[in-house]
Amino acid sequence: MIALTFLVALQVGQWTTIPPLNVPRQEVGVAAVEGRVYVIGGIGTDQQGSKVVEIFDTQAGRWRLGPSFPIPIHHPNVAAVGSKIYVAGGCHGAINRSRRRRRSSNRSLGNHNDPGHAD
């Protein structure tokens, strides 16, 4: 399982150790917006796709749970544009070596500055 334990501090050009994720996962999507690192979905220890979204606050130095993604997803394609995070594609369902199902999500986590955005 991936334990996101390093974060690059580009301002000073050095690696810094951070706390591990609260929910261990691999094959996650990651994006950064306004001093926060968002880790979306992934494959959990149960080998299932995950709805878990975790947010690392770079100022506070800690993780917290964000709003759940609408569907379990792993291998998501994630990008940040301005204050929005987009998830386009990814896989849905359990991991099976003989067959993988793909399902496009094409969902936005919303505007980070939106008062209705739970974070």
pLDDT digits 0-9 by tens, 30-88: 999 999 999 999 999 999 999 999 999 999 999 999 999 999 999 999 999 999 999 99
Which tens digits make up the pLDDT trace of 84-113?
999 998 888 666 654 444 444 455 555 444
pTM of the model: 0.71
Measured between alpha carbons, how far is 63 from 18 in angstroms, rounded to an integer? 9
* Alpha carbon distance, N-terminus to C-terminus of the chain: 25
Q: Which two tokens stand for residue 103?
A: 């399902």
Q: Give the closest residue to 86 by CA, choosing from 67, 107, 72, 66.
A: 107
Give the other-Cβ count within 10 Å of 84's Cβ. Answer: 17
The 3-state secondary structure of 25-45 reads EECCEEEEECCEEEEECCECC
